């Protein structure tokens, strides 16, 4: 069982949350005309074995979207922030180390 430290509700069980998606993937600008950026956005993933940044929805709690740092090999939990506080401050896809 993963325990996620929701910034609003505090530590809560994984079962209160729904996994969303890879949070490093960012939508291209709406006037982006090339195919490859859209292909990367919709389909292609870094899928790292290690540190991963991801969206979870606290659907059985405060209903906020959060951005969680989690290790996909060890399930170790890192920081958890509200998605609305993270958006726009991060580099786009592929930025994670």
Partner 1 sequence: MTHYSAFSVFRHALRGNKTWGRAWRDPEPKDQYDVLIVGAGGHGLATAYYLAKEHGITNVAVVEKGWLGGGNTGRNTTIVRSNYMMPGNTMFYERSMKLWENLSQDLNYNVMISQRGQYNLCHSPGQMDAARRRGNVMRANGIDAELFDRDEVKSRLPYLDYSENARFPVHGAIYQSRAGTARHDAVAWGFARGADSRGVDILQQREVTGYLWEGGKIVGVQTNRGDIRAKKVALCVAGHSGHLAQMAGLRLPIETQCLQAYVTEPYKPLVDTVISYGAAHFYVSQSDKGGLVLGGDLDMYNSYAQRGGLPIVEHTLASAKALMPCLSRLKLLRHWAGVMDMSMDGSPFITKTPVGGLYLNGGWCYGGFKATPASGWCFAWTIAKDEPHPDNAEFTLDRFERGYQIDEKGAGPQPNAH
Determine if 59 is a binding residue for partner 1 (CB under 8 A).
no
Residues in the chain: 97
Residue 97 vs residues 3, 18, 46: alpha-carbon distances, Å: 24, 25, 11
CA separation for the pair 72, 24 (Å, rounded): 14
Binding mask 2-41 for partner 1 (x = CB under 8 A): x----------xxx--xx-xx------------x---xx-
**Distance in Å from the first CA to the final CA of the chain:** 26
What is the distance, to the nearest Å, from the Cα of residue 55 to the centroid of all Cα atoms in its chain? 3
- Contact assessment for residue 52 and residue 70, using Cβ atoms and an 8 Å cutoff: yes
Choice from 34, 49, 88, 89 touching partner 1 (CB under 8 A): 49
Determine if 70 is a binding residue for partner 1 (CB under 8 A).
yes
Q: Pick between residue 36 and residue 88 the one whose CB is nearest to partner 1.
A: 36
**Beta-bridge mates of residue 13:** 3
Binding segment for partner 1 among 26-34, 44-52, 59-67, 79-87 (CB under 8 A)? 44-52
Binding residues for partner 1 (CB under 8 A)? 1-2, 13-15, 18-19, 21-22, 35, 39-40, 42-49, 52, 54, 70, 72-75
């Amino acid at each position: 069982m993963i325990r996620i430290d929701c910034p609003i509700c505090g530590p809560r069980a994984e079962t209160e949350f729904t996994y969303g998606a890879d949070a490093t993937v960012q939508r291209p600008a709406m006037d982006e005309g090339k195919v490859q950026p859209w292909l990367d956005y919709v389909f292609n993933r870094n899928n790292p074995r290690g540190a991963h940044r991801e969206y979870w929805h606290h659907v059985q709690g405060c209903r906020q979207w959060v951005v969680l740092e989690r290790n996909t090999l060890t399930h170790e939990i890192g920081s958890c922030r509200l998605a609305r506080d993270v958006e726009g401050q991060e580099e786009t896809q592929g930025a994670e180390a």
